[in-house]
Amino acid sequence: MCGIVGVVAKSNVNQTIFDALTVLQHRGQDAAGMVTCEADRFFLRKDNGLVNEVFRTRHMKRQLGNMGIGHVRYPTAGSSSSAEAQPFYVNSPYGIALAHNGNLTNTPDLREQMRKENLRHINTTSDSEVLLNILAHELQQIGKLKPTHEDIFAAVKAVHTRITGGYAVVAVITGYGIVAFRDPHGIRPLVYGKRETDKGTEYMVASESVALDIPGYTLVRDIAPGEAIFISQDGDVHTCQCAENPKLTPCLFEHVYLARPDSIIDEVNVYKARMRMGVKLAEKVMRERPDHDIDVIIPIPDTSRTSALEMAHHLDVKFREGFIKNRYIGRTFIMPGQTQRKKSVRSKLNPIELEFKDKVVMLVDDSIVRGTTSKQIVQMAREMGAKKVYFASAAPAVRYPNVYGIDMPSATELIAHGRTDDEVGEEIGADWMLYQDLDDLKDCVKAGNDSVTSFDASVFDGQYVTGDIDEAYLNRIDAERNDDAKDGENKPGSNENADLHATI
């Protein structure tokens, strides 16, 4: 899960990209980066940290040009070192910078192809750098001094035939424009919009529609699975279907947790989808315990608030804010390592005793992944005097690794893996554990767009839509990307490159 943005405008785009990245900050808090282009020069700034930490006034003054791309990152493939921060850059052909959201599932084979067949050096462990070099190689094969949009689309078609996984990509080509494309399954989201100015029409592509809203762009539509869009430096727009057999199977977890509620993804309003999740949870309560004794429903801020409110409304139970969130603590789920997650929970949430004391409390969260946070929150509720603590998840049990760009690589770190719902409840200390049914969750999203008929729901059902995932692959990524590996990477001294600002 990362956030990407690309802008072609009639004046400097540095502030627009900065604003968009700030809005997409929820998609990655590990690193941020920006490349802008003026004439035949790139201007790059990237580093570890939040957007407003990476880009200071002195950096923004150097980011010249009327087109550029940006990225916010959290590590899935690769390490959390600032050397892995995006965008990445190659100087041949033309000069290309690229940012990527997702994860390639055939990266080891691609690395070998790059080294042995394409004679290209990959400097980091990031699959995004591999992807950039593949795109660069395919553009080089065209062999033109001035490529047309047809040439660029031909290169994207070749890229699709070589890579597998979930990916949304934005790249800027020096002096030509921006190209963006989405994987043939549409797993990772990508939209584009435009705005009218006195100087002409300006365009933006981004991971979520909310990134378009703040700078005043109007959503045009989602990029279709397998589709590419090219926006020339002069503002001409071209689109092309570049995959042979595209099929929309978007990531279901985007609607549960990853996306902002004010976004629209694949024509589905995320906020309304989460409202429907709360209704479905209420219906399940009434099926399983029509004589329930719930006194109060309390959300675990922030993502679950919408579902919890609807759940309370349909059960005719009080809704209360029982936890106060420290706004200066990042999203626990996307912190790179279990040690950091454990430390952050108590400093992130503080309970209000009067909302718990002598009450039967139903806590509602968007999902339960590792269970560490949930266990501590249940314990907080008991310490505040709750008579009973129930726990509801707006998502089904997360039992399988994610391989398409979400940090769930190890089945052994998922609390629901190998456990029943009741056993999960016992593990986190809840008196009753209530999970959303998978079919109900799918219905909640499909209700917003009936043309979406299937999903990547692999974290819930273990079915991987790209068809190339086997036990050996899962074992390999478990060893490479589990929390023990990340905790080792985050030890003092592991981040050697403090400032990667460059003018290219």
Cα–Cα distance between 233 and 227 in angstroms, integer? 20
**204 burial class (0-12, 13-18, 19+ CB within 10 angstroms)?**
buried
Q: Which of 2, 37, 242, 444 is catalytic?
A: 2
365 annotated to a ligand binding site: yes
The pair of structure tokens assigned to 464 is 């991987």
234 marked among binding-site residues: no
Q: CB neighbours (10 Å) of residue 131?
A: 25
How many CB atoms sit inside 10 A of residue 441's CB? Answer: 25
Count of alpha carbons within 13 angstroms of residue 150, beta-carbon side = 1
212 token code pair: 């378009």
Residue 233 near residue 217, CB atoms below 8 Å = no
Helix (H, G, I), strand (E, B) or coil at 230: strand
Q: Is 266 annotated as a binding residue?
A: no
Q: What are phi and psi of 49, to 5 degrees?
A: 125, 175
Q: Within 13 Å of residue 232, how many CA atoms lie on the same side as its CB?
A: 10
C-alpha closest to that of 3 among 74, 53, 54? 74
Burial of residue 18 (CB within 10 Å: 0-12, 13-18, 19+) is buried
Q: What angle do CA 53, 259, 125 make, to 5 degrees?
A: 60
Per the document, the length of the chain is 504
Beta-carbon contacts of residue 127 (< 8 Å; ≥ 6 apart):
77, 78, 100, 103, 104, 107, 110, 165
Judge whether 2 counts as a catalytic residue.
yes
Token pair listed for 79: 């390490």
Strand segments, DSSP code E, in 226-347 are 227-232, 237-241, 264-265, 268-269, 296-299, 318-319, 323-325
Binding residues: 303, 365-366
Mind telling me the catalytic residues?
2
Binding residues for Mg(2+): 303, 365-366
